[in-house]
Amino acid sequence: MQIQVLKSKIHRVKITQAELNYVGSITIDKDLMDAANLIENEKVQIVNVNNGERLETYVITGERGSGQVCLNGPAARKAQVGDVVIIISYAGMEMEEAKNHKPVLIFPDDRNKII
């Protein structure tokens, strides 16, 4: 039996942009993606600390070193620029593997840079 466990978390980054007229997704600075072990097109959950909204979408690679965290398409209505969000990914694992799994957790600074 597989269970879903926390794979990666980018804890408390700020939304830098919201683009309503876009196909959809979240664009994330490549440095943040690498640090959190996220890949392009990976499914993520976005939790908005400011308003309690939760949504699922997929990752698009943003410019490295930009600090960019941009909600695109309909998701842009779920946050405002400056809102603080948590970006979470999960992985399916067998129970025994999950017992030893260590998720990747990153805690960027207030400019969305790796500390």
Cβ atoms within 10 Å of 7's Cβ, excluding its own: 19
Which is catalytic among the residues 8, 22, 58, 89?
58
Joined together, the tokens standing for residue 29 give: 């600075």
25 carries an active-site annotation: yes
58 carries an active-site annotation: yes
Estimate to the nearest angstrom the gap between the alpha carbon of 62 and the chain centroid.
Answer: 12
Which is catalytic among the residues 25, 66, 89, 90?
25
Could you give the CA distance from residue 17 to residue 75 in angstroms, rounded to a whole number?
Answer: 11
Catalytic residue positions, numbered = 25, 58
